[in-house]
Amino acid sequence: MENTIVNAVQDIYPDDFAWCYGCGRLNEDGHHFRTGWQGDQTLTVYTPRKEHTAIPGFVYGGLIASLIDCHGTGSAALALHRKNGHEVGDGAEPPRFVTASLKVDFVKPTPDGVPLKAVGTVTEIHPKKWKVDVEVFASDAVCARGEVVAVVMPSTFKKQDS
């Protein structure tokens, strides 16, 4: 299994939008999910930590939902970035998406101690709204499936003052 995403979209998000607990590279307490291309699909690989335990031996479902969520929005950003004629690393700022809808189906308990692999298939449904179907694997077994409807973050969005 590939364990490293070399060109992750999260690496090039502007600093103001790089704080997500799931995928923000600047959130020191976060998961730091990283999403990149693997052929025509997207890939995020993440190894859960001890604190992500639901019951001994199994991963907490909230972590899996977070993985699906961030993988979905990152996948939509990759897809629109590519549609706009860009690739990660070419110097162009990618679009940023937020979640409009998140659906998660837990297929089987997810064992701990192994890397999780989220694989996404992107479907454009509107210029500003994209659907991403995600499967989460532990080893070769599907543990969860999800659907993320992601919308382009409005250009008028501004960081809120604290």
Q: What percent of the chain has pLDDT over 90?
A: 86
- pTM for this model (two decimals): 0.93
Whether 39 and 78 have beta carbons less than 8 Å apart is answered as no
User: pLDDT tens for residues 69-97?
Assistant: 999 999 999 999 999 999 999 999 999 99
Pick the closest to residue 119 from 83, 74, 77 (CA basis): 74
